[in-house]
Amino acid sequence: MVLVTGATGMLGSHLMVKLLEENESVIALKRKSSSLKNTEKIFSYYNKQNLFENINWIDCELYDTIGLEDVLDRVDTVYHCAAMVSFDKKQRDRLFATNVDGTRYLVDACIDKNISRFCFVSSIGALGKEEDGKIITEESERDLLEACSDYSLTKYMSEMEVWRGFEEGLKGVIVNPSVILGEGNWNLGSASIFSSVANGMKYYTKGTTGYVDVQDVVRAMILLTNSETNAQRYILNSDNISYQDLFIRIAFEFGVKAPWKYATENLCSIAWRLDFIMSKIMGKPRKFTKNMARSSHNISSYSSEKIKNDFSFLFNSIESSISRIVKNYKLDNLD
């Protein structure tokens, strides 16, 4: 029996499709308030709506230690996909509670229940940086004094909880995906990039980062979890490209005009300050923060050579991923 946390998110939903295709029995954690609409929609992209009915949904928060123990009595493998993504300072306490404390509770419960395998979804945000454009690897050292977003810090700290779990006997792996491209809620996360471009995004920046197909992340997670590899981390990254290049490729698939106005660092600096003022006046969450403005101009490149060498793992091309995702976006918007 397999447990998936963060099951209603994009990655968790795609993961469950593959697990159920492989005849795994799946228990999925969710909040009582969570909707299953987007998860069911993701199953439809694979024409696997029938498998959706095989999921055993459990309402349980990660801080519910008693509830977690009851669930873990029935499983031997855990895929920990649950995480909160926010760059809004107002969400800081919730961010740490979800990502760090939630992971600590789950790791402790898995150790107590002698869970056989544990796969933790971290992020490239937890990795160290490299100077002068050098490629970032699993061995890149993180400068704890370096300015970073609260999200990045929580992913690093939650990863430390998993490493601590490995030292205490938990068996498993950590994956560090780059920006995950895939079908999901078109108004949230990386999936919203496709909505923005389709609806006429005007601005672009020249920063560079890594991107990976959600289907590749799922394949890698299952491969690593089913292997005998233990206490290792793997970067999952298909390609390093600029934001401008990504937007151009997506716009081409949609047949729309690509973003044509360059958002300079000064313009981004003005934008995040205006966003801060408007959030104060309107009482709404931040849409564009200082860290987001900074990262939009950063140039970072990531290496997936470790998983390629250890497992002969091949990634989908970004072009093929974008083509599939845009096709499904169009089908959704014809409904």
pLDDT at 335: 54
Tell me how far CA of residue 59 lies from CA of 27, 30, 50, 62, 259, in angstroms. Answer: 10, 5, 22, 10, 42
The answer to whether residue 282 sits within a structural domain is: no
303 phi-psi bin (left φ>0, alpha ψ -120 to 50, beta other): beta
The answer to whether residue 23 sits within a structural domain is: yes
Query: Of all residues in the chain, what percent carry a pLDDT higher than 70?
Result: 98
Q: Given a cut of 90, is residue 326 above it in pLDDT?
A: yes
Residues with Cβ within 8 Å of residue 90, at least 6 apart in sequence = 285, 286
The answer to whether residue 291 sits within a structural domain is: no
Q: Given a cut of 80, is residue 334 above it in pLDDT?
A: no
Domain that holds residue 61: 2-184+210-239+302-316
The answer to whether residue 111 sits within a structural domain is: yes
Q: Which residue has the higher pLDDT, 65 or 323?
A: 323
For 209-265, how does the pLDDT look when each residue is reduced to its tens digit (9 = 90+)? 999 999 999 999 999 999 999 999 999 999 999 999 999 999 999 999 999 999 888
The answer to whether residue 179 sits within a structural domain is: yes
pLDDT at 27: 97
The answer to whether residue 158 sits within a structural domain is: yes
Q: How confident is the model at residue 129 (pLDDT cuts 50, 70, 90)?
A: confident
Distance CA 145, CA 211 (A): 26
Q: Given a cut of 70, is residue 145 above it in pLDDT?
A: no
Q: Given a cut of 90, is residue 270 above it in pLDDT?
A: no
Enumerate the β-bridge partners of residue 3.
Answer: 27, 78
User: What burial letters (b/e) apply to 101-117, b meaning 16+ CB within 10 Å?
Assistant: bbbbbbbbbbbebebeb
For 17-32, how does the pLDDT look when each residue is reduced to its tens digit (9 = 90+)? 999 999 999 999 998 8
The answer to whether residue 45 sits within a structural domain is: yes
CATH code: domain of residue 20: 3.40.50.720
Mean pLDDT, the chain, rounded, equals 91
For 77-107, how does the pLDDT look when each residue is reduced to its tens digit (9 = 90+)? 999 999 988 877 778 899 999 999 999 999 9
Q: Given a cut of 70, is residue 206 above it in pLDDT?
A: yes
pLDDT at 132: 67
Q: Given a cut of 70, is residue 266 above it in pLDDT?
A: yes
The answer to whether residue 292 sits within a structural domain is: no
pLDDT at 256: 96
The reported pTM is 0.94
Q: How confident is the model at residue 288 (pLDDT cuts 50, 70, 90)?
A: confident
Please give the tally of structural domains in the chain.
Answer: 1
